[in-house]
Amino acid sequence: MEKTIKSIASNYGLYLGLFIAVVYVVSYAVNLELLTNPFVGIAMLLAIIIFGIVSISKAKKAQNGFISLKEAFTSYFITILIGLIVASVVAIVLFNVIDPDAAITLKEKTIEGTAEMMRNWNAPEESIVETVEKMREQPNQFSIGSVLQSLVIQLVIFSIIGLIAALIMKKSDDNA
pLDDT digits (tens, 9 = 90+) for 149-159: 999 999 999 99
CB atoms within 10 A of CB 50: 12
> Is pTM, for the whole model, over 0.85?
yes
Instruction: Detail the DSSP E strand segments found in the chain.
Output: none
Report the interhelical angle of 69-92 vs 144-169 (nearest 10°).
160
Q: Which amino acid appears at position 165 of this protein? A: A
Alpha-carbon span 155 to 37, nearest angstrom? 22
Contact 141, 102 (CB under 8 A): no
Q: What confidence tier does 176 reach under pLDDT thresholds 50, 70, 90? A: low
Q: Is 31 helix (H, G, I), strand (E, B) or coil?
A: coil
- In this prediction, residue 128 carries a pLDDT of 86
Report CA torsion sign: 19, 20, 24, 25. Answer: negative
Please write the tens of the pLDDT for every residue from 23-68: 999 999 999 889 988 899 999 999 999 999 999 999 999 998 899 9
DSSP code at position 97? I
Alpha-carbon span 84 to 7, nearest angstrom? 17
Mean pLDDT confidence for 155-171:
95
Nearest to 36 by CA among 96, 116, 92: 116
